[in-house]
Each structure stands twice: as structure tokens, then as C-alpha cells.
């Protein structure tokens, strides 16, 4: 196959599989998800900044899971699940909540409940997780059409553009019927941006005026609450439903909470069963979710602080190789650019994940830092409970070392 016929991801992968000499190499990650081989050895330390989904349950969670009281949740008889759902509903300021296996399923259930007829339409941001990364499930499985509005740099969208997307004249047979607006908070692709409360308030007003419902993909809404210094309910009150992930920064191994009105959750139970999400003795998993909501929210501030420290260190790097806007670093996700076009994001991630003899000699140990090439020619790094302040400092050292080595290489080439 010639290079002209290769897709962009294929070109990146073909490039990444070229391995420099004398490098103890970890296989490259894919553009968004991947499982690189971890470099092993007494002189190698791994700092995994690919995603906050790589977190592992700690001793307290594992103990709670082992000791959980269980029942049949499809019959509504699992006491641990029921307790988790009550805790979540109270925390969200909503009438009820439902334990769901995944965030993607939770978002799809919300779409199915809000958009009750095939051919209904939801309006979403063009860079939202629901629009980009969930396989078009709303159309594929629910028969719901998506209309996209332009996602702005802060994760919001223009409300006038939203209004222009709303369909009128139902039951005109030519058009779908507008039913739902979806927002994402914090916003993944835009680098963990926290949606302003004023935007959410104005959005809800628009939705009410046009008879629409609002769903929040709040996979990381707890990060948003910590960043704003408010209770989660202060954010969620502007939505009719919310999906909150337990298995990202909160550290549970499985699960998402879907919140809404009692009627919404009753319908959601039916949709969950149809999608294969009705679990039986799931209190074993829900026990970890209880720990996540009771003990793990406060520590998210540490992740935010480490992300900011790393961003500041990139700007202080000599030679100046990294471009970061510190005003956009609001939570645990960092996106940054490389100043030198001679090093692509994929090559940079490859170099950060590799360990060579020169690095071990210079730093005293090898540091394998895992990141992803991301949207818009950026690199994405995500902090979580598995990354300490010490890990962050090691990642900073590695980033400075890579910049220094790249400058030496460029100088020799010149």
C-alpha cells in the first residue's frame, strides 16, 4: 500500500512503529485508546497520564466490595445498590438515581427516555463525547437524530446558534422533532473545561422556553464541582438529568450514576434492561461506588493542582518547547501544543513513553510517561488518584529531558 492511500491514523501508526536504536521501547498508544507495553526494570518508573479511567480500587474499596450485602438488583432487592442510588440522588439534588454499568450506556438511556419516539432529535456540541466517542448510539440504537452546534473553546456553545437549530412546525413530516439538548461538564476534548454556572442557567431558560429537556454528560462533573468550590447539586440543578461516572477520578472499578425525576428513572430502568444493563448481585460493584462518592471527591483537588503544576513547568522549560494557556487548565485534564513542528504529537508521546540509556544516566532512572496525541495537533495528559506529586515531578523531568534532547538533535542536524 502506498503512503498516499493510507489514512491519517494509519500513517501515524506506521511512523510510530519505527523504533530508534538503543531504546527500551514501549509499543505506541493509539490516537485515543491503547494498551502500551509497560517498560519494566528496577530503574524504570511508569507515570500513566493517558486517562483517569486507568485508576484502580484501593484497599478500602476492595474490602467494601468483599463485604458487600447483595441481592437481586433487577428485582430491586440489592440493598447496597439501593443505598448507593439514594446517596447519589441526594447528592445530585434529584428525586432518584440509577446505577448503570457504563457512562456510554447511561447517556444512551437518557436519550432514549427524553426522546421517546424514533425520529426525535437531540442537539449536541460537535466536540462532545456523546457526538464523537459513543459510536452514534443515539441513532444506531435509539433512532434519535443528532444536530450539532459548534463547541467553543470553553466547552460551551452559542445559545443563538442553539436556538437556530431548534425545529419548528411539528408534525410537519419533513423534519425530526427537537426534544433534547446535551452538555458535557467538564469538557473532555476541550481540556477539562468547567462550564460556567451562568451558561447552564441561560441554557436551561432557553430549553424551558422551547419545551426541550437538558441532559448533562457529567462524567467528570465532580471535578467541575471541586473546581468551582460548589456542591454538585448547584451545577446539576440546571439539568433534567445527569450521568456521573464513578470509575474515572473517583476510582471505582465500574459504574455510572444516572440521576433524574422519579418518572425519568422508572423509564430508565426499562431502557437499562433492554440494553443489557440489568445486573443481578451488583452490590459487589456498588459498594465501591459508595466509597467513591463518600471519600474520593475531596481529593480531586490534588489532581487539579498536579495538572496545573505540570502545565506551569512546561512553560518554564528551557529550551522553550511547549505551548500552554494556563487560563484553560481548570481541572485534571491538560492539552498542550509543541512549538517545534519538527516533532509531531505522536513522536513526542513515543519519546515520552520510551526509555534509553542516556536518560537513565542523566536522571538516575528511566521514566516512562504515557500520554495521547489528541485533537487539533495537541497532546493530552490526565491526572488521577494513581498519580502523586512525586509522579508529576518525574513527568516534568522527563518532559524537560525530551526537550533538551530534541534541541541537541536539531543542533547536530543543523
pLDDT at site 36: 52
> Strand locations in 115-171, DSSP E?
120-125, 145-149
Domain extents in the chain: 44-48+299-413, 59-296
The DSSP element (H or E) to which 63 belongs, if any, is: helix 59-66
1 — pLDDT class (breaks 50, 70, 90)? very low
CA distance 187 to 128: 7
pLDDT of 302-351, one tens digit each?
999 999 999 999 999 999 999 999 999 999 999 999 998 889 999 999 99
DSSP 290-317: HHHHHHSSTTHHHHHHHHHHHHHHHHT-
pLDDT the model gives residue 86: 98
SS3 289: helix
Task: Provide the terminal-to-terminal Cα distance of the chain, rounded to the nearest Å.
Answer: 33
According to CATH, what is the number of the domain 44-48+299-413?
3.90.1150.10
SS3 331: coil
Please state, in angstroms and rounded to a whole number, the distance separating the CA atoms of residues 284 and 355. 39
Cell (9 digits) for 169: 412546525
Q: Which residues contact 134 (CB under 8 A, 6 or more apart)?
A: 104, 107, 108
Q: Kindly report the CA angle at 222 between 193 and 295, in degrees rounded to 5?
A: 145
pLDDT band at 364 (very low <50, low <70, confident <90, very high): confident
- Give tens-digit pLDDT for 152-191: 999 999 999 999 999 998 889 999 999 999 999 999 999 9
Sign, Cα dihedral of 281, 292, 220, 224: positive
Mean pLDDT, the chain, whole residue set? 90
Q: What percent of the chain has pLDDT over 90?
A: 82
Residues near 204 by Cβ (< 8 Å), separated by ≥ 6?
214, 238, 239
Question: 3-49: per-residue pLDDT in tens?
Answer: 444 444 444 334 443 433 333 333 333 445 455 555 555 578 999 99
d(CA 128, CA 218) in angstroms, rounded, equals 11
**Given phi > 0 = left and psi -120 to 50 = alpha, else beta, which region is 333?**
beta
pLDDT in tens, 61-98: 999 999 999 999 999 999 999 999 999 999 999 999 99
pTM: 0.88
Q: How many CB atoms lie within 10 A of CB 313?
A: 18
Tell which residue, 46, 13, 131, 99, has the closest CA to residue 272: 99
| pLDDT score at 144 | 97
Residue 68: all three cell numbers together: 458487600
Report the length, in residues, of the chain.
414
**How far, in Å, CA of 38 to CA of 47, rounded?**
10
pLDDT digits (tens, 9 = 90+) for 207-232: 999 999 999 999 999 999 999 999 99
Domain 59-296 indexed as CATH 3.40.50.2300: no
| Cα–Cα dist 350/341, whole Å | 15
**133: three-class secondary structure by DSSP:** coil
Tell me the DSSP string of 82-93. HHHHHHHHHHHT
Lowest mean pLDDT among 122-126, 373-377, 382-386: 373-377
The dihedral through the CA atoms of 283, 284, 287, 288 has a sign that is negative
Amino acid at each position: 500500500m502506498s503512503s498516499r492511500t493510507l489514512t491519517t491514523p494509519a500513517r501515524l501508526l506506521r511512523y510510530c512503529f519505527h523504533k530508534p536504536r538503543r531504546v527500551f521501547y514501549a509499543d505506541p498508544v493509539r490516537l485515543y485508546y491503547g494498551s502500551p507495553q509497560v517498560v519494566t526494570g528496577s530503574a524504570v518508573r511508569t507515570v500513566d497520564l493517558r486517562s483517569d479511567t486507568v485508576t484502580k480500587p484501593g484497599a478500602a474499596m476492595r474490602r467494601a466490595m468483599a463485604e458487600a450485602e447483595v441481592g437481586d438488583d433487577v428485582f430491586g432487592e440489592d440493598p447496597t445498590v439501593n443505598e448507593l442510588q439514594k446517596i447519589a440522588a441526594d447528592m445530585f439534588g434529584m428525586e432518584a438515581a440509577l446505577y448503570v454499568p457504563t457512562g456510554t450506556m447511561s447517556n444512551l438511556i437518557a436519550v432514549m427516555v427524553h426522546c421517546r419516539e424514533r425520529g426525535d432529535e437531540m442537539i449536541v456540541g460537535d466536540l462532545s463525547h456523546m457526538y464523537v466517542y459513543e459510536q452514534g448510539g443515539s441513532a444506531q440504537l435509539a433512532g434519535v437524530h443528532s444536530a450539532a452546534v459548534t463547541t467553543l473553546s470553553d466547552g460551551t456553545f452559542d445559545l443563538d446558534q442553539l436556538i437556530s437549530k431548534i425545529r419548528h412546525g411539528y408534525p410537519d413530516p419533513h423534519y425530526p422533532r427537537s426534544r433534547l439538548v446535551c452538555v458535557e461538564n467538564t469538557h473532555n476534548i476541550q481540556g477539562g473545561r468547567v462550564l460556567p454556572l451562568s451558561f447552564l442557567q441561560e441554557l436551561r431558560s432557553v430549553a424551558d422556553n422551547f419545551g426541550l429537556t437538558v441532559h448533562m454528560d457529567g462524567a467528570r462533573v465532580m471535578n467541575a464541582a471541586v473546581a468551582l468550590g460548589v456542591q454538585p447539586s448547584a451545577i446539576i440543578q440546571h439539568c433534567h438529568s445527569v450521568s456521573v461516572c464513578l470509575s474515572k477520578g473517583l476510582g471505582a472499578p465500574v459504574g455510572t450514576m444516572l440521576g433524574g425525576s422519579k418518572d425519568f428513572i422508572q423509564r430508565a430502568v426499562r431502557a437499562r434492561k433492554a440494553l443489557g444493563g440489568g445486573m443481578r448481585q451488583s452490590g459487589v460493584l456498588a459498594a465501591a461506588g459508595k466509597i467513591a462518592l463518600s471519600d474520593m471527591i475531596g481529593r480531586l483537588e490534588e489532581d487539579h493542582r498536579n495538572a496545573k503544576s505540570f502545565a506551569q513547568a512546561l512553560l518554564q522549560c528551557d529550551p522553550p518547547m511547549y505551548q500552554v494557556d494556563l487560563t484553560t487548565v481548570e481541572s485534571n485534564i491538560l492539552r498542550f501544543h509543541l512549538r517545534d513542528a519538527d516533532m509531531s504529537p505522536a513522536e513526542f508521546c513515543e519519546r515520552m513513553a520510551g526509555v534509553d540509556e542516556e536518560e537513565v544516566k542523566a536522571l538516575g532512572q528511566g521514566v516512562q510517561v504515557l500520554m495521547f496525541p489528541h485533537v487539533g495537533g495537541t497532546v493530552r495528559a490526565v491526572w488521577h488518584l494513581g498519580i502523586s506529586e512525586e509522579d508529576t515531578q518525574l513527568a516534568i523531568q522527563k518532559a524537560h529531558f525530551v526537550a533538551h534532547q530534541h534541541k541537541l538533535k536539531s543542533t547536530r542536524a543543523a
